[in-house]
Amino acid sequence: MIANIYKPVQWTSFDVVKKIRNISKEKKVGHAGTLDPFAEGVLVIGTGKDTKSLTEISGTDKTYEAVLKLGSATDTMDSEGTITDLCPLPEITENEINQVFSKFVGNLEQIPPMYSAKKVNGIRLYKLARKNQVVHREPVSIVIYKLQFLSYKKPILKFFVHCSKGTYVRVLGNDIAKELGTVGHLIQLIRTSVGKFTINESQTIDEFSNTWSSITN
């Protein structure tokens, strides 16, 4: 079975997998792309023989709505981290923001953040980061198909992004802030789609549990 689950804030993707495993009693459960604990939204779950489809699903485009707080940076590039830098906020217009956004549309090279689940030499980067170790990370080729301004009320900038697999929206937010002449970090991230799986059709874990009970009883 393939399920479109709404991952809540503060849950890890593995927390959701574990919960679905408990509900479904399936031994084999996986997901099609990690969402950071601070993020929420679409997490595609596969069970049983359908876990074979997850690799293909994880390779599809993603869309997100992000909230970027300008003027302060954290070590994780999100609200989970420790503030590492404070920077004055210049006066920024919507037109200037859109000009900066245009620089990030298309084919890009992005360096994965230290606080991420990506592995280097078999070790997840966040485990090294927690030991204050910084290692070389090779840039990853990504595509930003669309970057849309939603709103700006100093110091909060909201935007929509349609991107390829492997894009770190935290890094994108960090880079946007730099181009705007300041620093920043994400305070909210909602994944609104993974390929054909959209947030409007996603189920909470409780809804999934009720659906599963009605099918199996």
The answer to whether residues 46 and 2 touch, using CB atoms and an 8 Å cutoff, is yes
Tell me: the pLDDT tens digits for 106-115?
999 999 888 8
Q: What does the alpha-carbon distance between residue 132 and residue 137 come to, in Å, rounded to a whole number?
A: 15
Q: Closest Cα to residue 41, out of 84, 79, 74, 8?
A: 8
Report whether CATH 1.10.12.10 matches the domain 62-192.
no
Of residues 15, 36, 175, 206, which has the active-site annotation?
36
Q: What does the alpha-carbon distance between residue 33 and residue 86 come to, in Å, rounded to a whole number?
A: 32
pLDDT in tens, the chain (217 residues): 899 999 999 999 999 999 999 999 999 999 998 898 999 999 999 999 999 999 999 999 999 999 999 999 999 999 999 999 999 999 999 999 999 999 999 999 999 888 887 888 888 888 888 888 888 888 999 999 999 999 999 999 999 999 999 999 999 999 999 999 999 999 999 999 999 999 999 999 999 999 887 776 6
pLDDT of 217:
60
Is 36 in the active site? yes
Single pTM value for the model: 0.93
pLDDT of 129:
83
Q: Which two tokens stand for residue 61?
A: 């485009």
CA 41 centroid distance within chain: 9
pLDDT of 140:
92
Q: What does the alpha-carbon distance between residue 86 and residue 70 come to, in Å, rounded to a whole number?
A: 9
Q: Output b/e per residue, 44-75; b: 16+ Cβ within 10 A.
A: bbbbeebbeebeebbebbbbbbbbbbbbbbbb
User: Please, where are the H alpha helices in 69-114?
Assistant: 94-102
pLDDT of 21:
94
pLDDT of 214:
76
- Where does CATH 3.30.2350.10 sit in the chain? 2-59+195-216, 62-192
pLDDT of 207:
94
Q: Which two tokens stand for residue 52?
A: 């074979």
pLDDT of 83:
96
pLDDT of 7:
97
Topology (CATH level 3) of domain 2-59+195-216: Pseudouridine synthase (3.30.2350)
Q: What does the alpha-carbon distance between residue 77 and residue 92 come to, in Å, rounded to a whole number?
A: 21
